[in-house]
Copies of this chain bind each other. A is one copy, B any other.
């Protein structure tokens, strides 16, 4: 997230580590220091990816850390049974993720829902906040009476700079200083390189939120360095840049020709020989009559966002509280 994939040939921004790795592989680069492990069941593909060292970080343009990606192509079909399965899988994986980070089972948690209430594809974070079970108030008011199996969870949606006049990270810092959570979980809507990832992919990362990531205008990040506590980031691509959509269509076309004819130079002419970076610059120039590089989103975005916010909120409720039955996650969401 801090640096884009940029190896001489690459300058396509992506917030997803898995996508960054795939792009580096497509470019034929060697990928040292990046481990992946994939499992698939029930239409849910889970990839655990670890950037182990600086070489790996350089190779794919992502900071050192652990990443888990859920890919569920059918998540856009508004199938509530599949939604429950994804939430359950998410809960299991998230619990494991916290354990790997040595976050104790009773560590207090602050959930931060980044983004703008009034812009549907950017409302993911606030929607998750609205649907998670908060318990911190009971621990504050009557710590002796809280049933076992719960931990102190609080949740805020700090808004965006254009509405508040304050950086989200400053608001969160202020709240952390007052409430002293042990760990922060930050949820954010992302821009993806490919339209098929929009609202079908969820990424968990232990790297926090880096400046310039996400679809808003984040100039400061939410990281352990800044906040003083570990920050787990949950991101979902909800939009795609018009330019990356066009650019990736070129790639798909090239791949298409390659499969059919083995050679693409004649078909695609010089475009084929442009470096990725140059080609993207060309696409951006060509799309410039659109004034600014538009972020686009599927027209059914209202339903998609609601569905995926429910999945994440249900998953978090089950992962954070032992007392919440992870086999029936939906029952605890409002």
Which residues of A are in contact with B by a Cβ distance under 8 Å? Answer: 73, 78, 80, 117-122, 129-130, 134-137, 152-159, 161-167, 170-171, 173-179, 195-196, 215, 239-240, 242, 245-246, 249, 252-253, 256, 265-272, 282-283, 285-287, 289-291, 294-303, 331, 334
With contact pairs A196-B290, A270-B266, A294-B195 given, residues A253 and B178 touching in the complex (Cβ less than 8 Å): no
Measured between C-beta atoms, what is the minimum distance from A46 to chain B in Å? 20
Instruction: Please name all residues of chain B whose beta carbon is closer than 8 Å to the beta carbon of A289 when the two chains form the complex.
Output: 196, 252
Cβ distance A299 to chain B, nearest Cβ, rounded Å? 4
Dominant SS among interface residues on chain A: helix
| Nearest CB of chain B from residue A180's CB, rounded to whole Å | 11
In the complex, which residues of chain B have a beta carbon less than 8 angstroms from the beta carbon of A242? Answer: 195, 245
Chain B residue contacts of A178, Cβ below 8 A = 166, 170-171, 173-174, 177
Tell me the bound Cα distance from A176 to B178 in angstroms.
Answer: 11
Q: Which of B154, B179, B267, B287 contacts A270 (CB 8 A)?
A: B267
Cβ-defined contact, B296 with A299, below 8 A = yes
Indicate whether A285 sits within 8 Å of B256 (C-beta atoms), given known contacts A174-B174, A245-B246: yes
- The answer, among B119, B164, B271, B283, for a CB contact under 8 Å with A267, is B271
Do the beta carbons of A283 and B249 come within 8 Å of each other?
yes
Within the complex, which residue of B117, B177, B334 is in contact with A78, where a contact is CB–CB below 8 Å?
A: B334
Contact yes or no, A302 B120, CB < 8 A? yes
**Cβ-defined contact, B179 with A170, below 8 A:** yes
14 intermolecular pairs with C-beta atoms under 8 Å apart: A134-B165, A137-B162, A137-B167, A173-B178, A174-B174, A174-B177, A175-B175, A177-B178, A195-B290, A196-B290, A240-B296, A252-B286, A256-B286, A266-B269
